[in-house]
Structure 1
């Protein structure tokens, strides 16, 4: 698949089949992430792949807390769309039934240029999303653990000796084919 095709076909998948991913699929996605550009070539990322049922349940227990914390936001943001509130909260709580979740952390806590390090991890995440699309797999980038106030709990549970949680990515075989959301106008200027 060409890069432009992967960019245009990538969708945030919020419902997955129970079919597991192979170790080769996971490693290909991780490798793509680690090929991302990084500030000062720090390669400041650290990924924890959750695939065991036990650890996935542990993660979902934490995400249930995030969901409860985010409900006031969901109700405000989607006030006229109660089904979106229900769907979004169910996804955050249960991670869409994804068989794999990648937690993206900073490798350490003391980067001089913290924002640059976070941007580098974000570049790695985008590489992983596009690679998943190329492999006909679904993915969704979530910052819900941060906005839901459970990032420290996830950090303590899964990578206590690493830096802060940046985001998480669900991965699996898609059980939906959502349409592309309309892109908003007025998002750039050429001068």
Structure 2
């Protein structure tokens, strides 16, 4: 089996990170992998914000927690009570993927970029987790404007996903069962 297939099959979402920073060289390779993701009609309707600033990540976490505390979803209310909660699992580096608001394929294209980034991170010996729960912080319009500015977003872009990156501080989870009944060959 080749290294690409191995990386895809072995990569797991990591939810515990060591505090040491990810070297910029590795972050640049991960960003490059994201830039090479497939996009509809090669529109590349994305913008990537690399955040290592703990104050910004903490602000997003506080906004997420505030929304979780006031929701009607019981699971979120329970999570919001955890004093160690972080939608980024305390990763030292988080890449936010934002898409053009007027591009229909932006969500799918950003998902493709996030997947490429996660596989690239694994191939470089880093852990990653593809996250979206932080989006709740952006439900507060005033806070969203402030956060968009902090993330350096151009006008007409909205944050869609994030990839938490760092050195793993936990063993990778076991490989979950894969249902093979979802495959049909039509000849």
TM-score in terms of structure 1 length: 0.79
The 1:64–1:156 alpha-carbon spacing in structure 2 relative to 1, beyond 3 Å, is: same
Give the drift of 1:190: 2.6
Give the drift of 1:68: 3.3
Give the unaligned 5+ runs of structure 2.
none
1:93 alignment partner, SS class: coil
Map 1:31-180 onto structure 2 (within 5 A): 31-68=32-69, 72=73, 74=75, 93=86, 95-106=88-99, 108-111=100-103, 114=104, 116-146=105-135, 148=136, 150=138, 153-154=143-144, 156-157=146-147, 158=151, 159=153, 161-177=155-171, 178-180=173-175
The 1:46–1:187 alpha-carbon spacing in structure 2 relative to 1, beyond 3 Å, is: same
CA contact (8 A) 1:14 1:91 kept: no
The answer to whether residue 178 in structure 2 is matched with residue 183 in structure 1 is: yes
Count matched residues. 178
Give the unaligned 5+ runs of structure 1.
76-84
CA distance in 2, matches of 1:150, 1:142: 14
TM-score in terms of structure 2 length: 0.80
CA contact (8 A) 1:129 1:139 kept: yes
Give the drift of 1:171: 0.5
CA RMSD of aligned residues (A): 2.9
- Determine which structure has the larger helix proportion and give its number: 1
Give CA deviations for 1:63-95 in whole Å, capped at 9, x if unaligned: 3235436783637xxxxxxxxx76xx6786352
Give the drift of 1:155: 6.2
1:103 alignment partner, SS class: strand
CA distance in 1, matches of 2:71, 2:185: 37
CA distance in 2, matches of 1:144, 1:165: 12
The 1:90–1:165 alpha-carbon spacing in structure 2 relative to 1, beyond 3 Å, is: farther
Give the drift of 1:117: 2.6
